[in-house]
Amino acid sequence: MSPKLRGWLILTRGSNLPTVWSNVLAGWLLAQGLRLRPIGSEYAGQPPEPIGWGGLVLLLLGVSLTYVGGMILNDAFDARWDAERRSTRPIPAGLIAVGEALRAGWGALAAGFVLTVLAAPAPLRKTVAVVALLLALCVLIYDRWHKGVSWAPVVMGACRALLPPLGFFVAGERLYFLPLSDADWIMLAHMSALWLLTFAITLVARHEATGGGAGRRVEALLFLAPVPLFFAVGLFWPWMLLWTGVYAWWLVRSNRRHPLPAGVGPRVADRLAAMPFIDAMANGHLAFVCLGTLIKHKGVHPEALFAAACLLLLVLAAAPVAVRLVLRWRKQIPST
């Protein structure tokens, strides 16, 4: 691999892309749980609505470009700061010019916005455009002004929290909020959990260049990130307990493997890799809907059974596959 190509890969933080896909996919899967025909109803014997795999693929490509564009612009805007403190980064090291990075970052961000909007069904295209524009603005605000300001982690948290609604809207469902439905509760709780986790990760990451820890309060926030989902999952609490246990084990394991002060960078990378576990918690609704459809299959349309089987497989595999990809890819592309 040429040094310049590796420099571009480092700028993109591409090893974190599976966590972005997982965030979006969780919102999309929540919507799919609403689209399956209710068991025992007069509609159960009817064929299900099309799942819309094409829109999902286009959306994943769009948010990937948004993420990559944001990461490249982050380094481009930080070029002077990196030259003074982290001279090994690709731009201060001379592998990539600032102008090249700016053109690539702006281009990827714009292309990501367009593809995200095109992924949406026509009735929800304006809604998706508003959310995608808000996401792009949060990315730009963080990239441009995050150094030395206390509110930067709040904005970074918003960047993650906006991903599940994009998946939900692209699947063709709406959020009404008044009155709050089960889906609204799960979506709000999922967004809150992702925001809280990202907020805490960003506070920890500020110590990556200097060493040391962000304090016990920040560490506590990492463990408290799943709490909002416990108020929204209802009967799906066994599913929540399972994935919360996996998530807590992952954090404890990371702390033991990477003691401070030298372990700040690896800890941040591990926390980023843990995001799919939060997404898995939000997938409990669809998991139980699919299981119910497959178990009480009498009178259910064959296409609905096939759709439920495919979606259940995706629910079970999404988090393990995403985490596995992150761990494999970060051996070549640093996560931070």
CA distance 25 to 253: 26
H/E element, 54? helix 53-77
pLDDT at 82 over 60: yes
Going by C-alpha positions, the residue among 268, 273, 264 that lies closest to residue 327 is 273
Tens digit of pLDDT for each residue in 22-46?
999 999 999 988 777 655 555 555 6
Q: What is the pLDDT of residue 285?
A: 83
CA distance 181 to 32: 15
Lowest-confidence pick of 62-76, 100-114, 255-269, 314-328: 255-269
What dihedral angle (degrees, nearest 10) is formed by the CA atoms of 57, 63, 66, 69?
A: -60
pLDDT at 298 over 90: no
CA distance 169 to 66: 17
Q: Which amino acid would we find at residue 60?
A: L
Q: Domains in the chain, please, with CATH? A: 3-329 (1.10.600)
pLDDT, average across residues 184-192: 93
Tens digit of pLDDT for each residue in 122-180?
999 999 999 999 999 999 999 998 887 889 999 999 999 999 999 999 998 888 767 77
Q: What is the pLDDT of residue 294?
A: 82
Burial label, 182 (beta-carbon count in 10 A; 0-12, 13-18, 19+):
middle
* Rounded (5°) CA angle 85-145-169: 125
CA distance 268 to 275: 12
pLDDT at 202 over 70: yes
CA distance 81 to 147: 9
Q: What is the pLDDT of residue 149?
A: 82
CA distance 262 to 273: 19
CA-to-CA separations, 49 to 33, 36, 128, 292, in angstroms, rounded: 12, 8, 20, 18
CA distance 103 to 214: 34
CA-to-CA separations, 295 to 34, 43, 79, 207, 298, in angstroms, rounded: 18, 17, 57, 50, 9
List b or e across 272-304, with b for residues whose CB sees 16 or more CB atoms inside 10 angstroms: bbbbbbbbbbbbbbbbbbbebbeeeeeebbeeb
Tens digit of pLDDT for each residue in 230-259?
888 766 788 999 999 999 999 999 999 988
- The length of the chain in residues reads 336
Q: What is the pLDDT of residue 48?
A: 67
Q: Using an 8 Å Cβ cutoff, are 309 and 57 in contact?
A: no
pLDDT, average across residues 219-225: 90
Q: How much of the chain exceeds pLDDT 70, in percent?
A: 91
